């Protein structure tokens, strides 16, 4: 299963797209390390690195959700969008705990990879794209990707 950012996933805001590209690179490296067996002694660090990047990225998006307005109206989907981020972190933690407890079995790692790739494609393609649309109307000077 390939883990790559593609232009169809663009949300039209350069800063967010750049973070999404970096996020995909980090996810790809994470799974490559585990599949090579390099993660065995280093699994907690691999998880922490990815989790930290995701958390930082979600914080940026969430800051933008509340910061800007279009004709007096804020970003309408902030609550639902933030809930999706929380759900991601909850499920990510569940996978992390299971993998740390039982070891990175190929079945568990495959399941985790499928989940993360599907989640990212769904979230970026719909929810983040909506945020991108809002930000572009709030900040017409934004650099487009």
Report how many residues bind Fe ion under the rule CB under 5 A: 2
Span of 19-27, 45-53, 56-64, 133-141 interacting with Fe ion by CB under 5 A? 56-64
Tokens of 79: 């609550």
Neighbours of 132 (CB within 10 A): 22
Span of 36-44, 59-67, 69-77, 112-120 interacting with Fe ion by CB under 5 A? 59-67
What 3-state DSSP class applies to 73?
strand
Q: How far is the CB of 87 from Fe ion (least distance, A)?
A: 11
Taking the alpha carbons at both ends of the chain, their separation in whole angstroms is 26
If the CB atoms of residues 97 and 126 are measured against Fe ion, the closer one turns out to be 126
Q: How far is the CB of 14 from Fe ion (least distance, A)?
A: 16
If the CB atoms of residues 62 and 98 are measured against Fe ion, the closer one turns out to be 62
Verify binding: residue 17, Fe ion, rule CB under 5 A: no
If the CB atoms of residues 12 and 35 are measured against Fe ion, the closer one turns out to be 12
Q: In whole angstroms, what is the distance from residue 84 CA to residue 95 CA?
A: 16
Binds Fe ion by CB under 5 A, chosen from 13, 61, 65, 109:
61
Verify binding: residue 128, Fe ion, rule CB under 5 A: yes
Residues 124-128: contacts with CB under 8 Å, at least 24 apart: 124/9, 124/11, 124/20, 125/8, 125/9, 127/77, 127/80, 127/81, 127/84, 128/11, 128/16, 128/20, 128/61
Q: How far is the CB of 64 from Fe ion (least distance, A)?
A: 10
Tokens 């660090």 belong to 45
């Amino acid at each position: 299963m390939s883990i790559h950012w593609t232009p169809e996933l663009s949300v039209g805001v350069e800063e967010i797209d750049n973070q999404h590209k970096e996020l995909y690179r980090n996810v790809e490296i994470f799974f490559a390390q585990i599949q090579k067996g390099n993660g065995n002694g280093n699994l907690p660090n691999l998880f922490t690195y990815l989790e930290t990047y995701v958390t930082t990225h979600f914080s940026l998006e969430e800051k933008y959700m509340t910061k800007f307005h279009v004709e007096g109206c804020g970003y309408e989907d902030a609550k639902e969008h933030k809930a999706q981020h929380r759900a991601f972190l909850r499920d990510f933690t569940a996978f992390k705990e299971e993998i740390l407890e039982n070891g990175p079995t190929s079945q568990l790692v495959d399941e985790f990879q499928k989940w993360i790739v599907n989640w990212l494609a769904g979230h970026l393609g719909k929810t983040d794209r909506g945020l991108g649309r809002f930000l572009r109307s709030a900040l017409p000077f934004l650099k487009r990707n």
